[in-house]
Amino acid sequence: MKGKNIIVTGATGAIGRALVEAAVGQCAATVVMACRNVVRAEEIASEIKSDSTRLIPMMLDLARFESVRQFAEDFGKLGLPLDGIFNNAGAMPSKLTITADGNEMATQVNCLAPLMLTRLLAPTFSENAFVVMTTSVTRKIFRLHGDDTAEWNKTHFSRYGTYGRSKRMLTEAVPQLAEELADKQIRVNCADPGIVDSRMINMNRFVDPIANIFFRPFIRSPRKGAIPALRAAASPLSCHVFTLKREKKIER
């Protein structure tokens, strides 16, 4: 990422910060830290203290399409060619929440908004840029319900099921997005970080004692969870899902 301008959404989260730190370590020219909490992003930027990389906190709330459009407009005003974006931000609501745009929250934040954001930013992409979408292993568990999956998620909500379907929707949308961006030879991939120690893991207090024994030893650090996304960004491949050590083509 040396000398490149990139965007990290969800930059204040565990994996988001790890991606920002990795970009700084690789001497990126600019990292736009896109997130809801700009004050926290500014604090993280001051903690990282980079002399070679410009860190720019910017407001982005994927739960509001208006914010997505505003972010794309504001980024365009920076006049920077976009060399890559890590669509890292995500949500796993514990109860049904409908956004102001009329969508179930996880569906919008995890799928609809990242796709919209990437398309809005398309005019600013440089040739051979990368797009990395964050998917999840839960995509393999829950099936989609055709073109009505977004509506299905509003009427058949479950925390893990809805989350898993939103990630599967996103993954299956990647080939179409890659086709749209093919003229600029932009690579579009997914990254599956595995189970990462982040705020998204919020176990019931009665389950925690068992989970600490059987589950938590397998949870990855944020830095390790960022590796699949970094592998996806560096790879010449497109339309693949990257994990810690492997990659697999996304079939239409």
CB atoms within 10 A of CB 159: 14
HSE (side-chain half, CA atoms, 13 Å) at 146: 1
Instruction: Concatenate the DSSP letters of all residues of 163-176 into one string.
Output: HHHHHHHHHHHHHH
Contacts of 60 (CB under 8 A, 6+ apart): 9, 34, 35, 36, 67, 68, 71, 89, 117
H-helix or E-strand spanning residue 230: helix 227-234
Give catalytic residues, as residue numbers: 163
| Closest by CA position to 136, among listed 192, 187, 210 | 192
Q: Name the pairing type of β-strands 30-35 and 247-249.
A: unpaired
At 48, give phi and psi (nearest 5°): -70, -40
Angle ∠(32,19,241) on CA atoms, nearest 5: 110
Rounded Cα distance between 225 and 194, Å, is: 7
Contact present, 191 and 135 (Cβ < 8 Å): yes
